[in-house]
Amino acid sequence: MKTTLYLVVPCYNEEGVLADTAEKLAEKMKSLMADGKISDSSKIVFVDDGSRDRTWELIAKLSAEDALFAGVKLSRNRGHQHALFAGLMTVRDEADIVISIDADLQDDIDAIDGMIDKYHSGCDIVYGVRKSREKDGFLKRATAEGYYKMLQRCGCDIVFNHADYRLLSARALAALSEYGEQRLYLRGLMPQLGYKTAVVEYERGVRLAGESKYPLKRMLSLALDGLTSLSLRPLRFVTGAGVTMLFLALALLVYSIVTVVMGSSMLDWKIILVSVWGVGGIITLSLGIVGEYVGRAYIESKRRPRYNIDITAGLRK
């Protein structure tokens, strides 16, 4: 029996790129069907994350014209991670494997062949990993690679240079559905599932059209979600900072006493002011870190739904 593949494609205001994306993905899917790698019941599922343009109109049209396409429309914008999760959970009972890919198709769709081969070799999770970041600007490359390294040093199990281009088997999706956190960081959850994994490397291309839907603010928010959801080390930093400040205060006290005994005057106001500002800054930073964790725990305790589906097209649900 052939494998049923569903491609899940999160979209937000993608009317400018959707037609080209649909054409290229359809060509790839039909090629896989012709080669006997996937069944004819496989689908491309676009997830409209509360777009404000004609994105859903185009998705509905594609679905009406070709059974290969389907769509899920969220009731409002929930963010990339929640839209992706909504798509995965909506189709998990209909597919043998699901591959997630962004609508801009910067991720090489030819890597799908290798992902399917890895699945048939016994892997439940196959990561799409960039070979290099040479096409990125210096600042973006340095911050991205630095962030991955920081996560690893904080004890987070993370796949270097992997974003959200991946294959998940049906049982990996079933396991993922048991994770109930509100602030999703999917690339950090994948290694925790514990199933056999593999990597397929690819070269990342340029965006087909339009502008990136991940500005700096959203990237920083996602980075913070990843750090706080996977590691407690920032909280331990607070403890370390407190101990460090205590020793510095004791050292300054000893130094002050020694200078007075030796006949020198007490430390001048500049050194005292710098000390006060330094200690105050560390205390404020520490309170911010603790507050971030407390706030996230408060949000998680409410158990609110992560998304609401408004309407679907081309799916049984």
pLDDT digits (tens, 9 = 90+) for 24-43: 999 999 999 999 999 999 99
- State the average pLDDT over residues 119-136: 85
Which among 44-53, 161-170, 256-265 has the top mean pLDDT? 44-53
Residues near 161 by beta carbon (within 8 Å), at least 6 away in sequence:
129, 130, 133, 144, 145, 148
Is a pLDDT exceeding 90 seen at residue 267?
A: no
Dist CA 310 CA 57 (whole Å): 14
Question: What does the pLDDT look like over 46-59, one tens digit per residue?
Answer: 999 999 999 999 99
Question: What does the pLDDT look like over 205-249, one tens digit per residue?
Answer: 765 555 555 555 555 555 566 555 655 566 667 667 766 776 776
Closest to 38 in 3D by CA, of 101, 100, 112? 112
Is a pLDDT exceeding 90 seen at residue 60?
A: yes
Question: What does the pLDDT look like over 94-124, one tens digit per residue?
Answer: 999 999 999 988 889 999 999 999 999 999 9
The whole-number pLDDT of residue 89 equals: 92
Q: Which of the four pLDDT bands, split at 50, 70 and 90, describes residue 126?
A: very high
Tell me how crowded residue 255 is: count the other CB atoms within 10 A of its CB: 12
Tell me if 99 sits within 8 A of 7, measured CB to CB. Answer: yes
Return the percentage of the chain with pLDDT > 90, whole number: 39
Torsion of CA 24, 29, 33, 36, to 10 degrees: 110
CATH for 5-230+306-313 is 3.90.550.10
Q: Model-level pTM?
A: 0.72
Q: What angle do CA 190, 171, 104 make, to 5 degrees?
A: 55
Tell me how crowded residue 301 is: count the other CB atoms within 10 A of its CB: 9
Dist CA 172 CA 218 (whole Å): 27
Closest to 103 in 3D by CA, of 179, 175, 11? 11
The whole-number pLDDT of residue 187 equals: 79
Write the secondary structure of 56-96 as one string of H (helix), E (strand) and C (coil).
HHHHHHHHHHCCCEEEEEECCCCCHHHHHHHHHHHHCCCCC
Which among 66-75, 127-136, 222-231 has the top mean pLDDT? 66-75
